[in-house]
Amino acid sequence: MSAMDAIDLAIMRTLQQDGRISNAELAERVGLSPSACSRRLDILEKSGTISGYHARLSNKALDYKMMVIVHISLSGQFAKTLTEFEAAVKLCPNVLVCYLMSGEYDYILRVAAKDLEDYERIHRDWLSALPHVVKINSSFALREIIDRPNVGL
């Protein structure tokens, strides 16, 4: 994508606030005709700048009241080891985020659980069963302070 201008940023900022806004309303807010706005939006989507649209669901409302930060060490960082671990961790429905890390641990995960008993099940049935895992360290979030889906524009 070519360099973004103030209108592209305004489109993205508006969509971050309201992803369900109609094209006509979006166009009005950013000062374009609906057809010009639609073309800009199409370019932003096709370039991958806008990577998708989704509803943000409340984990608490869905009875997932516990958030756990899990640090995982593997037996090594060989390509095959990483590939096998990553394929397996993607199958765990309670893993919300997984990062390959530098430093003391190989991966950091954010895991949603309903309660301590549910996390014990996740740990036993999923995390401990992941390939090449040699160490798991779990920290329990006491309170969420901020959870942004994106960097603010």
CATH number at residue 42: 1.10.10.10
119 and 91 inside one domain: yes
Residue 111 in any domain: the answer is yes
Give the Å distances, CA to CA, from 134 to 5, 73, 75, 81, 104: 48, 6, 6, 12, 13
Residue 20 pLDDT:
93
Number of structural domains the chain divides into: 2
Whether 136 and 72 share a structural domain: yes
Q: Are residues 30 and 74 in the same domain?
A: no
Q: Which domain holds residue 41?
A: 6-46
pTM above 0.85, yes or no: no
- Assess whether 80 and 31 both reside in one domain: no
Residue 138 vs residue 3, higher pLDDT: 138
Instruction: Tell whether 57 is covered by a domain.
Output: no
> Mean per-residue pLDDT for 101-125?
97
Both 42 and 73 in one domain: the answer is no
Report if residue 91 sits inside a domain: yes
For 95, which DSSP code? E
pLDDT value of residue 2? 60
Q: Rounded to whole angstroms, how far apart are CA atoms 98 and 107?
A: 7
